[in-house]
Each structure stands twice: as structure tokens, then as C-alpha cells.
Amino acid sequence: MTTPSAPSAAVTLLTLGGTIFMTQDASGGHAAPDDDAAARLAGTLVDGVALTPHQIANVSSSDVRPRHLRAVLERARRAVDGGVDGVVLTHGTDTLEESAFLLHRFWDREAPLVVTGAMRPASAPGADGPANLRDAVAAAASPTTRGLGVLVVFDGQVHLADQVTKTSSRALSAFASEPSGPVGMVDGADVRLLHRGPGRAALRSGTLPESLPRVPTVMAGLDDDLDLLEHVPAGAIAGLVIAGVGMGHVSPAAMPRLRDLISAGVPVVVATRIASGGTSTHHYAYPGSEVDLLDAGAVMAGFLPPAKARLLLQVLLTEGASAEEIRASFAAHAS
């Protein structure tokens, strides 16, 4: 009789649900959360890794809240402090990049926290959940990923939390990284780094707040002067993110509204709605350009897309950051 070999690593599996733990109805549609799917999938993982699962929630990613991520952060910290090599978190793909980014602000352990999910429900032919989960466990257990913070593993690729973005609402290869590409790849139990990426931005202290201040995102576009800002009562919002055109631009007619908000003490961060390239600080100086916005007191988001810029601003506002501290924090992501 063969004696089972001792596990080579220990990983804690935290679950928030998402498509990876959903099943479809008899028609092959209408996927919904399924706790039984979570139990089945958790038993299909990498040989040689001792896996300890713990369910935080089983919800769609559109229903993930800061309190869920606070629970993830605290549970993950306890697991690593208790001796595991890494932590895997399952999450729906719609807001996966946002949760990874937010957790990355607070993840202060050398062991990796790896986020993954699936584009096909567990009951679908060719479900990608088992492979993604296997790869995420391999990345969490690998010594090569230590010190990289929060990672996203999807379709055999390893992405940094600050650079990953969902690029397709349907494809299995749904995630990419801007501007440096994936930081690594998973080949079975082997995790190969392609580059180390930029240095980490400053960590936030303490734990993740259970709620975040109100910071809406408004998209600029053709024939749009951000008129709706005229109807925002004073004190109704804590900050504002603009998804600008081009390198971070708005129409000239929108500038008086933004200047009024900034003068009233509302921080305004300008990102770009464009998928790559980020915002600028010096290319254009016409009314409504990035130079005009900076002169008005706005902050440019650099390579951060609007969704991540919003989360960073919310965290900074929770901490009571000054205007200069907000500007310095976004400068770490500048292009």
C-alpha cells in the first residue's frame, strides 16, 4: 500500500462566488449561484497542495461590497499569519479587477493573495473554472509570486492587481494588463515570471473600511458638457471621477462646473475612457484639456481606469487625505 506524500504547500481558498460557482437551468441559461457547485469545484484542485476552503459569500460580483472584501482581507491575513503559503479568492469577473485593486491597497503580507473566477458556469460544457482555480492555487503556492501583492490569475496568465482589466464580456481570455502585459504565466505547477513590474504604490494602513464615501463617475463625450453636475446639491458627493475623452479631456463648457466643484472642496479626478495609454499632464493646453484641468485643481489618474481611480479616491477620502496627499497618491500611477 502506497503512503500518500506530505503536501508540498498549504493554501487557503476563500470564496465570494461569481460565475465560477454558478450553474445553469435545464435550458442551458439563467446561471445562478449554487453552493453545491462550490463544494464540487473545491475538490478538483492541484495535487500536492493542502487546501482549506472557507466561504465568505456566494454572490454575483455586482453584489460584492466593501464589507465582503474587509472579511476577505482579515481572513486572508489570519491564514497567512497561521502559516499558509498563499491565499486564493474566487470572485465574479464583472468587478474582479476592482476588488483586486482595492485589496492590493491593504495587502501587507509577502505571501500572494490570488484572485480568480470563470467566464462559464460550472455546469457549462468547457467550463473554465477548474483550470483557473488550479492555476490560481499553483500561483498562490509558488515562491516566485511572493512579494507581488494581490494577483489575478486567469486563462493561464498572472496579472498585477494595479494593471489588470477585463477586456471582454464573453471570451475565456477575458483579462489583460495595461501597459506592461501579464507579469507571469502558469504551466502546470510551474509559475514563470515574465517581468517584476513597477514598484508597489504605498500601502494603506489598518484594514479595509466596511463602506466607502459617495464618489460618482461621469463619462465625457461628444456634445456633453456635464450638465448633470448642475443638479448635484452641495455636499451630496464626497468626490468625483471623470472618464474623460482622449488623454483626459472635457468640453470647454464643462470647465465652469468642474471649477465650482473644486472650489467647494470636492476632489475631482480625471481618468480616460480609452482602454490604453492613460492620461497626460502636458500634451494639450486648450480649454478643457488636461493642462486646463490641472490648472483648475483637478487630479489626473494616469494609467488608472475610471473604476480604479474611483476606488483609490474613496480610500483616500476615508482616510481624510488632503488635496496634496490625493495628488501624490495618484502621481504613483502617472503616465
Residue 118 CA to residue 332 CA, distance in Å, equals 31
Is-catalytic flag, 15? Answer: no
Query: Residue ranges of the alpha helices (H) in the chain?
Result: 35-41, 66-81, 96-106, 129-141, 255-263, 290-296, 306-318, 323-331
Give every CB contact of residue 117 below 8 A, 6+ residues apart in sequence: 18, 19, 20, 61, 90, 91, 92, 93, 96, 129, 132, 154
Q: Is 59 helix (H, G, I), strand (E, B) or coil?
A: strand
Alpha carbon distance 301, 334 (integer Å): 7
Inter-residue contact 89 to 16 (CB < 8 Å)? yes
Q: Is there a contact between 279 and 313 (Cβ–Cβ < 8 Å)? A: no
**Pairwise CA distance, residues 284 & 91, whole Å:** 40
Alpha-carbon dihedral sign for residues 329, 182, 168, 116: negative
Helices 323-331, 306-318: axis angle to 10 degrees equals 140
Amino acid in the structure at residue 237: I
Q: Which of 19, 93, 95, 279 is catalytic?
A: 19
The DSSP line for 253-292 is: GGHHHHHHHHHTT--EEEEESSSSS---SSS--STTSHHH
- Under 8 Å CB-to-CB from 265, ≥6 apart: which residues? none
Q: Which residues are catalytic?
A: 19
